[in-house]
Amino acid sequence: MHSLWLKLMGAFALVILVGTGLIIFLAGRATTGQFELYVTQTGQQWVARLAPLLADHYARAGSWAGVDAVLRNPWIAGAAVPGPPRQDRMGDEDWMGGMGEGMMDGMGGWSEHGQQGGQQESGMMRDDNMWAISGNRLILTNADMVVVADTANALVGTQLPADDLARGMPITLGEQRVGTLFVTPFDAPATPAGDFLGAVNRSVLWAGLAAGGVALVLGSVLFFQIVRPLRSLSTAAQGIAQGDLSRRAHVGAQDEVGRVALTFNHMVESLQRYAAERQNMIADIAHELRTPLSVIQSNLEAMVDGVLPASPEELTSLHQETLLLNRLISDLRTLSLAEAGQLRLEKQPVDPGALVRQVGERLRLRAEEKNISLEIQAAADLPEIQADPERLTQVITNLVDNALRYTPAGTRVTVAAQPAPGGIELLVSDTGPGIPPEELPHVFDRFWRVEKSRNRATGGSGLGLAIVKQLIEAHGGQVQVKSEVSVGTQFRIYLSSA
């Protein structure tokens, strides 16, 4: 039972079985109830027509003796009086509502065959019990509620509860109640009524089974359509688990399962892209570490061999390479913590104007050495922001340092802080060569440089802008870049004051 298709089919079959059983049960109950109601109502009409005949019998006999034959075959008893049926005895010329006439016609009729026909009819009625055939049972009691006649021959001599008196048809002679006639459905299954109910129940059963079979076939097709893309998804996931990132799931209809498969494919594409980025990052890190290590190794080997003197100048050069390695490792650690959301920020109220002026003054000497004009613009009454001053200083320093590195002599770099809706904006602009449009989407990537040769005379480690983006996002802010070739570049940072 590990197959999803089998589980769905099993659950569906169980639902069909329970539903079909419930329908059969309720339909059987409803059919039986309605049929019994119909039989009872019809029997009540017959009872109302029988009451005058029974009262006539009691008046002639002076008791209920011989009433069983009258109850079983009422038209025979009525026909025993010569002449046509009397209105005062039966209350209606056709007191059986057409039933008696039909049955008499079927047996040749009393008027045509006389006493012989009546004897045949009487014998047939005694043998077949017309009331059972019609689905009714008649019970006659005397004035003391003792049963004197029962078409089912079950309760004769039994006294019925007085509470049942209201459910019967009174038999009166003058103003005196001499008996009560009751009608109930006949429950014997061998009667035509029982056969009818059995046929209806069997029809409902077969209809339910047929509907259940059709539903299972249609459900099988439907579940296969659901399971097929899931199997494709499972196969693709197994391939990816084994390292094959080229596998994709089949996307069928644009339903929930199709959207899951589409989302899965997007996830795999992201994994594939991240895997490629990881490989590139490892290659970039190896390249960045190899260069200073190669310089240190070659210089130390030359000093050991006596080829290169261990002069203060050479040792200072080696020290600079170790500082570069240390900075690279520190930047990588900061970047990895920020990307993992584990970088700890010591937030406190910060005056952005004072911070901008502090960073500008610290880097002014370097700008003057490169003959670059460094301008600081801090608006008055800037709102304080909640930030880590050390990390925010690192962000501004990276941007200004980057601008000073790529901006030629005789140009200008501007550091500004100005109010913005709900917060402040920090801007670092330069009038340098600008960034080509095709390179702008990659500005904040790790190890990205405009100078592809990785020349340290014109470029750093390539992690500065990536760190800027991660630190600003860790503060809940945003950073954007605009650049135009031969015009300049501007980095804009937004930080909320809330």
pLDDT number for residue 76: 58
> Domain ranges in the chain?
4-194, 256-338, 345-496
Given a contact cutoff of 8 angstroms between Cβ atoms, the answer to whether 441 and 448 are in contact is no
Residue with tokens 């100005």: 418
Question: What is the structure's pLDDT at 491?
Answer: 96
Q: Which two tokens stand for residue 268?
A: 């795999």
> Per the structure block, which two tokens stand in for 281?
């990052």
* pLDDT computed for residue 114 by the predictor: 35
CB distance 178 to 142 below 8 Å: yes
Angle at CA 129, nearest 5°, toward 128 and 130?
Answer: 100
- CA distance linking residue 139 with residue 135, whole number of Å: 14
Return the pLDDT at 340.
78
CA-CA distance, 240 to 82, in Å (whole number)? 103
Nearest Cα to Cα of residue 28 among 206, 202, 207, 209: 202
The whole-number pLDDT of residue 333 equals 85
By the 10 Å C-beta count (0-12 exposed, 13-18 middle, 19+ buried), 157 is classed as exposed
Q: What is the pLDDT along the chain (498 residues), one digit of tens a residue?
A: 467 777 778 888 888 888 888 888 888 788 777 776 776 677 677 778 788 888 888 888 888 888 887 777 776 555 333 333 344 444 444 444 444 443 334 333 333 333 333 443 433 334 445 666 666 778 889 988 899 988 888 888 888 888 777 778 888 888 888 899 887 766 555 556 667 777 888 888 888 888 888 888 888 887 777 777 777 888 888 888 888 888 888 777 777 777 888 888 888 888 888 888 778 777 777 777 787 888 888 888 888 888 888 888 888 888 888 887 888 888 888 888 887 778 888 999 999 999 999 999 999 998 999 999 999 999 988 999 999 999 999 999 999 988 998 889 999 999 999 999 999 999 999 998 999 999 888 888 877 766 555 454 444 567 888 889 999 999 999 999 999 998 999 999 999 986
Domain topology for 256-338: Helix Hairpins (1.10.287)
The topology (CATH level 3) of 345-496 is Heat Shock Protein 90 (3.30.565)
Q: How many other CB atoms sit within 10 Å of the CB of residue 113?
A: 15
What tokens appear for 185 in the block? 């459905």
**Exposure of 398 in the CB half-sphere (CA atoms within 13 A):** 24
Quick one: pLDDT at residue 82? Answer: 32
Residues 305 and 299: beta-carbon distance below 8 Å: no
How far apart are alpha carbons 397 and 413 in whole angstroms?
A: 13
- Count other Cβ atoms within 10 Å, centred on residue 80: 10
pTM, full prediction: 0.49
Cβ atoms within 10 Å of 450's Cβ, excluding its own:
17
* HSE of 415, CA atoms in CB hemisphere, 13 A: 29
Q: pLDDT value at position 452?
A: 54
Interhelix angle 256-304/312-339, nearest 10 degrees: 170
Interatomic CA distance for residues 139 and 148, integer angstroms:
8
